[in-house]
Structure 1
Amino acid sequence: MTAIVIIPARYDSTRFPGKPLAPLNGKPLIQHAYENSKKSKLAKEVMVATDSKAIFEAVLGFGGKAVMTSSSHASGTDRIAEAAASLDYDIIVNVQGDEPLIRPEMIDDVIGLLDDKKAAMGTLVKKIEDPKEIFDPNVVKAVFDRDRFAMYFSRAPIPYHRELFSAKVPKCQSAKDSTTTELRNYGAKELFMYKHIGIYSYRRDVLLSLAKMDPAPLEQIEKLEQLRALANGFRIKVKETSFETVGVDTPEDLERAKKWLNLSS
């Protein structure tokens, strides 16, 4: 099977306008995601799909490939589907343009998940180690079955540990609450809780089908696109990763990414 990485990138962002072109250690943010994706052993090509002429020209400027897409897309999934429709690849990998620390091994992992013929999509999870992430709605949690197929994704703490959480939650309503140390003392690793890492592999026909479907009710409630796939019977295979990523949604996140890059260099 042949695979391509498509990086969706839009210029207009509510919290961080022009984010893909924000400088990070001398390169635009999108270039970090692109160059790391190029190191994948299994993806044959990398491309940026954008609705911005500035982003398009920036990608061409550093020697990358880019395609212009419609400005009306409501999601990155829709954007990469438009690009994928004219391409002849079996597997499409969605790498977020605001993930400068994406590892090529992660891309190869999600491509490899589709060796399982029962899998329509592949994605990654990482065991939660910081108790603050358990109650943070910005950290999406995932549960999966014994065959490593996703059962659900949620911003809520799932699975809900009734005996432990019922005693702790009243004192841990805020992720900033210092009483999360009680959960830390228990050991977050022992809670069998996983966070979702937002990289996806799709079979091409699955991606194109999803882009034509209406948003699912649970998708609209949680604001999680992957729930559209589950609601329509598509199976998502998951693999645990040891790698951490740093998503950049705000200028503050950009500073955090700079620290990570400096530590890893």
Structure 2
Amino acid sequence: MTDDRSGRPAEAFAALHRQDRPLLLPNAWDHASAALLHAHGFPAVGTTSLGVAAAAGLPDGARATREETLRLAGALGALPVLLSVDAEDGFSDDPGEVAAFARESQTRGVVGINLEDGLGPVDRHVAKIEAVRAAAPGLFVNARTDTYWRGDGEGTLDRVLAYRDAGADGVFVPGLTDPGALAALVRALDGCPLNVLHAPGGPSLARLADLGVRRVSLGSLLYRRALGAALDAVVAVREGRAPGEGTVPAYQEVRRLAG
């Protein structure tokens, strides 16, 4: 894979976390969605584990999409876009197997990987991060903790600092929206980029920039919105109404996305 701005895609991706504004990372689930996002000005795209799983008829968060994620990485690797994959927990408790997945992803053009701890043992996630760093040098490791996603936030600081010290290039705390807590976490991380999940009703992108957040992911939002738009359109037609207004790519544009 090549990048429009640099001959070193991994370095270009890391640099996107050092801008004045946070990197807004939209999440794709197939070739067309990734190509469309890149064509409309997004230099980097992530994948959504829910979207990838649901599109393939597989359960999310159950280690069922390892091969599907690799297949998609290979398909998207031909696009001139910086690609980060959502790898759930690495699809294994074995750090060596997680590292092998990361290395294979990297050979297919991936420049970043998102690994979640699922509130499992800190030491196990640390071992996975260290193994990935050794097996896939240059791959941007985004270490996610689910302390706010599945809990009340207890232990967040200890976890993210442990993951940073293990070699994570960035840490991801989905579910955290409180401005004071965000600012405190940014200070504690001391330069390690903080990634959060966009939350309707939460801080705006500009506010997150002021707080020091360096990356904002959309997760499964785009996939779920696409499903909702499809349902709204067909129900409107069934009821004799015109489908509501919205962005609808032309047939020829979608054809070009697959070119």
* TMscore range, shorter length: under 0.3
The structure whose RCO (Cα within 8 Å, separation 6+) is larger is: 1
Question: Which protein is richer in strand relative to its size?
Answer: 1
| TM value normalised by structure 1 | 0.26
Question: Which protein is richer in helix relative to its size?
Answer: 2
